[in-house]
Structure 1
């Protein structure tokens, strides 16, 4: 079960939210779905030394913090995504793996009844007490992944959600 209990919404439950730009605070159904999973794709962007676009995509563990409307991630400071977020903090996050919603893996492979949430926001590299509070939340939500969350060279990043869009 997801952290707040009860069944996850189905695509039929979410029909009124499909392909509509949502602004925070996120709809209860969307928040429940974000709390039900921990993997996302993070899209970052920069221009390379020749001025050419250089997008980057990373599979990440995340924690959604309801009420703050932030997505928490952590990463090594010596990575392309970290450098890109420092230079260009606008990011996109794609979440589509909702394993506890009762649909089978075969349905997921066919794409029938599946939902995706795209979040757009601003990534902020956190420091001090706020970073440590968020680090603790991220640890609790991602047991077994301490090596990706703890350490002097691991940055805590809060992605402040500005808008969301659901699609099936």
Structure 2
């Protein structure tokens, strides 16, 4: 699964320099260059895979082995494909997407809002675990339900905030 993520990310990152303008331009034309729709699509590209992962983890007992395996690879490819939107080290969105820049800007903003909420959630999980260890010494089975509730609630709030920011937040 990690190999799929890396291969897709490298492939999309490298090919994005060549086909990024065409792909983003086609997405923009498909939605008639509407900023709100591009922002929502960007959030779906950057945030929705993690929502699907959370839903799959919650319902993993109901999924067959083949579905779980397929879902892992699909999500790895979905997450890795976001590398198409990331400009190169010495370039900007304008350089990377050229004439499609007006569409790339809201699309990448929505992606960043979706991805950053997940990154912040992981940071908060690490802080919560460190605080629990500091306060209680070691984590026991008694602490897991509380930690699970706190993490789930925090993640849901941050994900909703990321979606709201993607849709109505001011773009830099």
Shorter-chain TM-score above 0.5: no
> Highest relative contact order (Cα 8 Å, sep 6+), 1 or 2?
2
TM-score (norm 1): 0.29
TM-score, normalised to structure 2's length?
Answer: 0.29
- Flag the structure with larger Rg: 2
Give the structure with the higher percent helix.
2
